[in-house]
Amino acid sequence: MKFFASVATIATLAAAAPKARFTTSLDVKLELQENSRVKATVTNPGQESLKVLKTGSILDASPVQKVSVSNIDGAATFQGIKVYIGPHADESAFQEIPAGKSVEVTFDIAEIFDLSTGGKYNIYSSGNIRYAEGGDIDKLRSVSFESNKLHANVDGTLAAAALSSFHQNMKRATINSDCTGSRRQALETARQNTYNIAVKAAEAARSGPAKKMTEYFESASQNTRSIVAGTFSKMAQLYSSQSGKPDIYCRDIGNYCSGGVVAYTLPPQNNIVYCSAWFSYPALNSACRQVDQAHISVHESTHLSLTKGTDDYGTYGYENSIALPASQNINHADTYAYFAHDTLSGC
């Protein structure tokens, strides 16, 4: 199957521009191994070497969502992490795929999905991966992809053991250190800003200009407005209550703050971890379409199972976000974050 690379539209024209077109490609093949283990082979059929960003993609060694898994009852519950990737990952976060060559990765889907019921499951991968244009890691472009589909008959007992083992390791990696000083203050400020932004975004989604809804979600229908407003209303409720959720950490409890990761979320547990890089962002920038601590907080908060449980689709940034199809925009974290920031800034 194919990956297709998008060309980013100019920011000032992006809202009115057609969907991004894709020209560069990668071939991706999934193969089933024993029980719930999957091998992914990524081949570069082009004439030039391609440097792809591993972080958050199917090539990432961390427990990110590399595939989608479903059975007759619907989608399996994802139990891994969702990451926010900054614009300046270092060289170690990239994988060079020479022209005509392949790279392989193997992972156990039972470690990050609850497959304990066992039986027949469908497995496939789709979304986006980023690559360094011309090998320049400061010039990232997006690659959209869709793999072949697999059908697996999973042993539920073995799958449950794999999931349990993964979470045991997560517990052993946890450092229960309270945030103090300036970091605690930064998190308190982000909590308040996230609440304020969520309230304004919910109102804008319910009754704001149709043009803004269409810009981000390609629709201003009552159903779309209801979904978006509901997501932000749940977020506002979380940050205004004393429920104790989400659990927010300023320590890397899972050892995933590398490869350009600024923050990550464990959706089922409703935990958000802010890496050291997050604290280098400004608390709030009122200019249009800026990434600040509040933007990242809103982004991560949409991943929570208590709000929407959004995906990233390997896509970050305004231009790439609005280039997604409507079916993905409605469940895309950065789309929500940019929409919310626009409502705050009056863009």
Residues carrying an active site annotation: 300
Annotation-wise, does 312 bind a ligand?
yes
Alpha-carbon torsion, ordered 204, 210, 214, 218, to 10 deg: 100
Name the nearest CA neighbour of 277 among 54, 88, 92.
Answer: 88
Cα(194)–Cα(144) distance, integer angstroms: 30
β-strand partners of 69? 123
- Angstrom CA distances, 112 to 163, 214, 336, stand at 6, 34, 25
Q: What tokens does 60 get? A: 């990432």
Neighbour tally for 117: CB within 10 Å? 13
β-strand partners of 105? 40
Q: Given CA atoms 57, 61, 67, 68 in this order, what sign does their dihedral have?
A: negative
* 278 contacts: CB under 8 Å, gap ≥ 6: 262, 263, 293, 296
Annotation-wise, does 303 bind a ligand?
yes
Concatenate the DSSP letters of all residues of 225-237 into one string.
Answer: HHHHHHHHHHHHH
> Quick one: which H or E segment has residue 191?
helix 181-207
Tokens 């409890």 map to which residue? 253
Annotation-wise, does 151 bind a ligand?
no
β-strand partners of 225? none
Binding residues: 299, 303, 312
Binding residues for Zn(2+): 299, 303, 312
